[in-house]
Amino acid sequence: MKATARILNGIEIAAQIKAEVAEQARALAARGITPGLAVVLVGHVAASEIYVRSKVKTCAELGMFSEMLTPPESVTTAELLELVAGLNARDEVDGILIQLPLPAHVDTRRLLEAVSPDKDVDGFHPINVGRLQSSASHGVQAGSALAPCTPAGIMEILRRSGLPVAGQHAVVLGRSEIVGKPVAMMLLNASATVTVCHSKTVEIGRYTRDADILVAAIGRPGFVTAEMVKPGATLIDVGINRVTDAAEVARFFPGDEARAAQFATRGSTLVGDIHPAAFALAGAYTPVPGGVGALTIAMLMKNTVAAAKARRGASAGRSEVAAAKA
Ligand code: GUN
């Protein structure tokens, strides 16, 4: 009989990371440094507002300072560049996050490139993209790249769960700048053999069936079916798709009374990019919700403390030594 697939609990792993970050924030506070995050949220995108509130709340829970800047939808690129320049110049701001997507009239690329690379806690600045490419590490360390949060979270799940990466065939579905490309690079840096599949890949199944680690980040509910998965593989599901059609819910979760009840109450349920039936074949998998999604904010907090330490830790250390000698 097949062993039951192991569930990789993102909520537990995120809690571990947040506890470590809180400890580091306390150590910095003892030196008079409160790590600080500035979040720029333009206009009113409902999903972005929810994410940003959650980021601000987590900062407070971990003993960090945060500030939310909310320019109106009509803001110009020039005005945003000025706002970012101000944040770059403020010493108490360690991390700057510009919530995406921005309105179509804003030059997103120019804005992301205006963020000081040392404060780029999203890891989107070309300098950090380049540093990630030349890095052999898959975590975030002072002095090395600030890595994008969702891919960094995936690597933490694999590492903290003791799952092997070196020598494994990792197949990534999706080539976005936020997830697909950086996670492919991080898996390569961790010595996996990496294949990246995307919308133009011919017959994706022939790659996914050979994957020891499959990372799905394409935003299509239940795209990866059981026939596309190698038994025993590690399945990492980055998709968070809201399904509102009752027939579709019944198709994804046949006989699952808890899901049916949830759907009846809320009128929707979340489905990843991997079909729930495929999880049964896995060696280990991240559930949706409660998997990869839970890690993203924890990694943002980790990046903010790392940025604070890298930029302010050394001088604080020197003044401590000077104080001790005095
Ligand atoms: N929008 C969706 N995901 C992200 C993210 O990781 N960072 C930012 N800044 N915006 C996002």
Query: What does the pLDDT look like over 19-29, one tens digit per residue?
Result: 999 999 999 99
Ligand 1 atom with least separation from CA of 48: 1
> Residue length, the chain?
326
Which amino acid is it at 40? V
DSSP string, 251-298: HHSTT-HHHHHHHHHHS-EEE-SB-HHHHTT-SEE--SSSSTHHHHHH
Which listed residue (24, 94, 99, 302) is catalytic? 99
169 pLDDT higher than 70? yes
Q: To which residue do tokens 């994410």 refer?
A: 51
At 75, give phi and psi (nearest 5°).
-60, 145
**Cα of 227 from ligand 1 centre, angstroms:** 32
146 pLDDT higher than 90? yes
94 as an active site residue: the answer is: no
The confidence score (pLDDT) of residue 323 equals 43
318 pLDDT higher than 50? no
The confidence score (pLDDT) of residue 95 equals 98
Quick: pLDDT tens for 53-99: 999 999 999 999 999 999 999 999 999 999 999 999 999 999 999 99
Complete domains list, the chain, with CATH: 31-116 (3.40.50.10860), 149-294 (3.40.50.720)
Q: Is the CB of 99 under 6 A from ligand 1?
A: yes
298 pLDDT higher than 90? yes
pTM of full prediction above 0.85: yes
The confidence score (pLDDT) of residue 134 equals 87
